[in-house]
Structure 1
Amino acid sequence: MSRVSRHVKAAPHEGDVRFTFGVHPGANVTDHGLAPYYAMDNLIKEWGDRWETEGKPTEEIQLLGETWATCFDYSKSGLDPWDNPDFQLEQVREFQFYFVSKDSPTYEGKRADRDKRVKGGTITVRPRWPDLRSDGKPVSVPDYGAPYIDVQVQASNIPHEEYLTLVKRVMSAYGIASRYFDHPHPDSHIDDLAYYVRLYRDESGSLHAPDGPIARAHTLIQGDRSGYRKHVEDHTKIPGYYVTATVEDEKAGELIRGHELGKELKHYYPNEPQQYEPDQAPYHPKFEVAYQTSRTEQTVRWDDLDDAHRELEETILNALEWAGLAVTADSHAFVEFDPFWDVENTHEARKIVQCPLPKIESEQEHRVMQLWGDMTEADRDVTELLLTDGGKVSPKEAAEQTGNTYRTIREVTSRMEGLIRHTYGELELESKKIQQELLKRIRAAGDRFEQEIGSAAMDLADAAEERARDAWSRLRREYAISTVDRNDCRKLLKVGYQPADRDEAQSILREIKTAYQQHVEQFIAGVHVVMTLADGERLRIRDMNRAFQKSVEGQQREARHNKKAREMFDFEEWKAAGCPPADEWDTG
């Protein structure tokens, strides 16, 4: 683990913060109760008939060196009036304050509530008091034994730490004393928080690749069935169009030690990326990490903002690092003309860790191999049951469906600890990776199950020794790869294994690229790879990053036009990209 004191500062994106004002446990803090709410209600009365003749009240504020247009509005809340002599209002309203930056390039010149507010948002104010009801039925909200107001700020592309200042500025503009908002209650909390970086289109492929950090995080650390599992890959409009993976809070520490928040890792483009040109920011993708309230058991308080910001930004930086991308602003990977992001370095300390995914993958593969060698028929029955679709399985259901006794199922569960997880009376496989490894072995074994188990047991000693070596060493042995240092400072990797076809060749090249970058060196532009297919066709490539990118783009383009898919590495396509003949697949 290391701490970097100079790295690119991620841009704030979405935010949703719920402030509580009016009550506070602090001894030296005045409780203003519903005073700010009554002041807002008076705005309606003071504006009077002008709602019809002049429209909604509007004001301008200054924030972050920019001018902001704001607008005041209200709506019915659906709450019953408070049964208290101090409450004189016959109708309970919610109040909305819209705001939008007039200096933003997306500002349309409309009233704040009508503008798209790409850089802006809404402040919604709701009254609260003890025994709150709607149509006579209790409403579930925090009860502090006194009245207060709930102030929700939902915004985009504004630094989250400025939300409280924003509330004060807007309220002051409408004559509502800012002192009412000096002391948020400690229960004030965050419901949405997201940060992003925008990368040039030809730089981001390693993030959304099948062996990239987004896909592998889902495969290796999410359980087979328990909890929430979500991984989406949509490449229909462009490679990497929408690729996401969700990491639950209990798994966050497996990705980066010390992390606790459930979060979503997302690589995405706007809805219609083809509408933009290379000199426009939306032409290039965002890589975003967003806090997921529904995937996090603990509540993230407003006072926890700095820690939440650190964790989300660390996830961005580590994912970039694991994908072989630079994490400083002076690299040329980041788009410098994003209208909502200044690409600059910051000196806030952030933790960078060695990618844990290869180690997790190796451990899970070894665990499968180790227990596979000792599996019984009952173990196989339970494993095959868990490999089928259909949701979670209890030990009792497993006994009924496999024909084994309940006691046998419990013995299987105990014996296969590490492959099968038993929680809350339900069985599941430990991870998607383990599911894939077991499925591959069971399908390969077929009717030769007992013989395969015996062979696996005999191979365990060699496997344990092999596991101690790194993935690159294992890959070199598996595919008979020899390394040749050339006089021009480049390296040549000769692959002795002969793939059956180009599809298998591509898969092997992906493995070589991943292992080489993780265990030898990140820079692979000068590394040549040569292999021969089973039919004698000789293939050669130098820049693997560009090769995979061109391959995917070509396949997607052909798929969209319903034409026959082109072969993996096209000579004319490489020439058009300005690459010399040595860069292409060489069939000579």
Structure 2
Amino acid sequence: MRERIEPAPHEFTANYIFDSNGLLPFFAADSVVKAADGSQTATFLHRGGKWRVTLSFRPSNIIHPGSRLPGGTEWRLQKMREFKMKVSRHEDEDSVGQQKFYAHLTPRWQGMQAEKSNGTRTEISIPEGILEAINIRIQGSNIHFHEYQSLLRDAMIAVGIRGEYFEDPHEHSNVQDAERYVRVHKDASGPVHGRSGPIASMGHLLETDRRGYRKTVQNDDDDYGRNLPGYYHTVTLGPRRVREAFPDHSLPKEVKHYYAREAANQPDSSPLAHPKVGVSYQVSRWDGKLGVSETDLDRLQHELDQTLLSVLADAGLDISPTQGRGPYVPDAYFEGETAPDVSEPVVLDLTTIRSSQECVVVRHLRGGLSPVQWESLQTLVTDGGEVAPQNIAEEHGRHVESVRRALRGIDDLVEREYGKVSVRSSYIAELVHEAVEDADEAVRRAAEAGAKALSAAERGLGETMSVFVAWAARHGVEIDDALNRREARMTLRFGKPGLEAQRAIREGFRIWKDAGMPPERYRSAQVRFGDGSVGEAWRYLDTG
């Protein structure tokens, strides 16, 4: 198995519910804290490392249940308390960004209530099947996801609470946040957050114009107003759009490129001078649940790592460095080393998605849109909010059934659900918006690309070859001789040299191979640029 760069864990938040022993762990924590006059501190060993734990209490807004709980358990505590625990690596006690977590322990029983700040009471939702239990909310950083439960157990033992209370989390336990990351040298990370890089491309290609959640952030100024390209760039995708790029994934995720707040003041020798590229789980972006079992945590790490490696590879970064650490910068928790069991990256087929979406627009514009279809698209790309067919009909003085029929005829451009309609992707919306703003120019460009693709299809070159021809038209690449096998050598002509041209050459090579064309013919092609410079295709394919 080929070794890959191994990401490191960063943030992690989860709710661990334990009901096997009812409220005994809660009562035990109360006894320990009272015996220690409000706070118990201890040190312990975990997998060869020394850790420090502090258990204390805080006031609670939970309504006192009286002398007995609904389930029959006797309640002898006069004051309502909750318990907080801090666990950290002993040697990291005074360091920044240390390996640590905080645990908040609260009781759970059916019918329990809490008092809000305004004095009103509300019932706390407890999953059915749980009579009495404890909930421990863990928030930590720089610790492997699988270690939190065993660390919690060892910390509890260290302060005098039985470890078996924390052996078997309830199935309703759930992960709320998790991130895996690598640190990349600032001189190599530009393609990750660049205009044509994977973060921007996923935001434009894999999310609908309005339906669901779309968030793309591109901030190049730090918190002090200093310009730092790539300071905070993110894209967040829900489960549906994640599956378009990763068919076997389902967890909603955020992909991000970001610097530390103090990065601009750091020397190049400091890891903080260089950005992180990370992928995090976004629980608020779906209705599903991810548990805390070994299987669930394995799945979480696999999806995060595979997404991260795929993004790095798509940006042209070496994910299997064999000499040194390649473009990666180690820090206190990211070692910059490779490992054989890291998830295999997925080829982000964003080029094909982009070409397919372009072809959809081309086909409709060349074939001609009905007046009602054109009006509907005008509204969708300029409205900026949720749109119903009735809204479109009223805006243009049409019958609503005419609008619905028109929309059914452009199903590959729009999505219709629950009485609302939206453009199928932000990228399609941009293409259509160009047509709305300057119809003649947009149709001319679309017709040119479409004509070349249709010509390729008519010559029996197949659908994938048509995608290659559409790619060439989009990049202004002249490839007539590429399709003529009698030519001794084919030529690829680009406007200007640079990273975008190099990226386009690599994309074209992948589509060329997918079409079943001989790789050696493409690799041996001559590359000519508008400034008169000439190169060999293989040099651009084998760089980086």
- TM-score, normalization: structure 2? 0.83
Q: Please point out which of 272, 276, 282 is paired with 1:292.
A: 282
Aligned to 1:325: 317
When structure 1 is superposed on structure 2, of 95-104 and 137-146 the one drifting more is 137-146
SS of 1:194's equivalent in the other structure is: strand
Instruction: Identify if the C-alpha distance between structure 1 residues 13 and 142 changes in structure 2 by more than 3 Å, giving closer, same or farther.
Output: same
Q: Is the 8 A contact 2:452 2:470 kept in 1?
A: no
Structure 1 residues 367 and 483 mapped into 2: Cα distance closer, same or farther (>3 Å)? closer
| One-letter amino acid of the structure 2 residue matched with residue 192 of structure 1 | D
Question: 1:66 touches 1:103 (CA, 8 Å); kept in 2?
Answer: no
Deviation at 1:82, TM superposition (A): 2.3
Name the SS of the counterpart of 1:388 in structure 2: helix
Asked whether 1:480 is paired with 2:488, we answer no
Shift of 1:160: 0.8
Q: Report the AA paired with residue 365 of structure 1.
A: E
Find the counterpart in structure 2 of residue 250 from structure 1: 240
Q: AA paired with 1:419?
A: L
Residue identity opposite 2:29 in structure 1:
M
Among 69, 77, 85, the alignment partner of 1:97 is: 85
Q: Which residue of 54, 61, 83 corresponds with 1:71?
A: 54
Q: Summarize the Cα distance change of 1:470–1:344 in structure 2 as closer, same or farther, 3 Å threshold.
A: farther
Aligned twin of 2:455: 462
Please state whether the residue corresponding to 1:359 is helix, strand or coil: helix
Offset of 1:202 from its aligned partner?
1.4
Amino acid at match of 1:130: Q
Structure 1 residues 127 and 539 mapped into 2: Cα distance closer, same or farther (>3 Å)?
farther
SS of match in other structure, 1:82: coil
**Given residue 480 of structure 1, which amino acid in structure 2 is its aligned partner?**
E
Using a 3 Å threshold, how does the CA distance of structure 1 residues 248 and 521 change in structure 2: closer, same or farther?
A: closer
Choose which of 293, 308, 314 in structure 1 pairs with 2:300.
Answer: 308
State the SS of the aligned residue for 2:195. coil
Structure 2 residue 101 is the aligned partner of structure 1 residue 121: yes
Pick aligned residue for 1:340 from 333, 338, 342: 333
AA aligned opposite 2:214: R
For residues 475-501 of structure 1, what are the alpha-carbon distances to aligned partners after superposition, in whole Å with 9 as ceiling and x for unaligned? 6563437999xxxxxx9987476xxxx
CA contact (8 A) 1:528 1:540 kept: no
CA deviations 1:511-545 (Å, max 9, x no partner) are 532220223389xxx9997644xxxxx4759899x
2:505 counterpart residue number: 516
Aligned twin of 1:551: none
> What does residue 151 of structure 1 align with?
136
Measure the CA separation in 2 of the matches of 1:205 and 1:493: 29
Of 179-188 and 83-92, deviating more is 83-92
How far residue 142 of structure 1 moved from its aligned partner, in angstroms, is: 2.2
Q: Equivalences for 1:351-500 in 2 at 5 Å? A: 351-372=344-365, 373-445=367-439, 461-462=454-455, 468-469=464-465, 474=470, 478-480=476-478, 495=493
> Which of 11, 14, 30 in structure 2 is aligned with 1:17?
14
Once residues 133 and 329 of structure 1 are traced to their aligned partners in structure 2, the CA distance between those partners, rounded to angstroms, is 56
- Of 108, 114, 118, 2:94 maps to 108
| Inter-partner Cα distance in structure 1 for 2:350 and 2:44 | 48
- Tell me how far apart the structure 1 counterparts of residues 195 and 238 of structure 2 sit (CA, whole Å): 20
- Show structure 1 runs of 4+ deviating over 6 A: 448-460, 481-484, 491-494, 526-529, 541-544
Question: How is 1:205-284 mapped onto 2 (pairs within 5 angstroms)?
Answer: 205-236=190-221, 237-284=227-274
Q: How far does the alpha carbon of each residue in 1:186-221 deviate from its partner, in whole angstroms, 9 at most, with x for none? A: 221111111001111112111111111111111111
Q: TM-score, normalised by structure 1?
A: 0.77
**Counterpart in 2 of 1:27?**
none
Question: Distance between the aligned counterparts of 2:62 and 2:534, measured in 1?
Answer: 68
1:413–1:464 CA distance, 2 compared to 1 (3 A): farther
- Is 1:133–2:113 an aligned residue pair? yes
Deviates more, 1:263-272 or 1:234-243: 234-243
2:118 maps to which residue? none
1:32–1:375 Cα change, 3 Å: same
CA offsets, 1:152-187, max 9 Å, x none? 111000011000111111101110010111111122
> Contact (CA 8 Å) 2:51, 2:88: kept in 1 or not?
yes
Give the alignment partner of residue 35 of structure 1, picking from 21, 24, 43: 24
Q: How far apart in 2 are the matches of 1:238 and 1:183?
A: 47
Could you tell me whether the CA contact under 8 Å between 1:321 and 1:327 is conserved in 2?
yes
Q: Is the 8 A contact 2:22 2:133 kept in 1?
A: yes
243-252 vs 350-359, greater mean Cα deviation: 350-359
419 and 219 in structure 1: CA distance in 2 versus 1, 3 angstrom threshold = same
Matched residue type, 1:282: L
Structure 1 residues 19 and 456, CA, compared in 2 at 3 Å: closer, same or farther?
closer
Q: Unmatched 5+ residue regions in structure 2?
A: 69-73, 116-120, 222-226, 483-488, 512-523, 538-544
Deviation at 1:88, TM superposition (A): 0.9
After TM superposition, give the deviation of residue 95 of structure 1 in Å.
0.5
1:502 is aligned to none
Which residue identity does 2:343 align to in structure 1?
Answer: R
Contact persistence 2:230–2:258 (CA under 8 A): yes
CA distance in 2, matches of 1:347, 1:451: 51
Identity of aligned residues (%): 26
Q: Which deviates further from its counterpart, 436-445 or 175-184?
A: 436-445
Which runs of 5 or more structure 1 residues have no equivalent in the other structure?
24-30, 110-115, 485-490, 498-504, 533-537, 545-588
2: distance between equivalents of 1:454 and 1:257? 32
Structure 1 distance, partners of 2:178, 2:320, is 22
1:68-113 CA distance string (max 9 Å, x none): 2222221112001224530111222110111222333xx417xxxx
CA distance in 2, matches of 1:540, 1:65: 59
Shift of 1:44: 2.7
TM-aligned CA deviation for residue 259 of structure 1: 0.5
Return the alpha-carbon distance in structure 1 between the equivalents of residues 46 and 466 of structure 2. 53
- Contact 2:494 / 2:527 at 8 angstroms: preserved in 1? no
Helix, strand or coil for the counterpart of 1:203?
coil
Letter in 2 for 1:413: L
Change in CA separation of 1:69 and 1:457 when aligned onto 2, cut-off 3 Å: closer
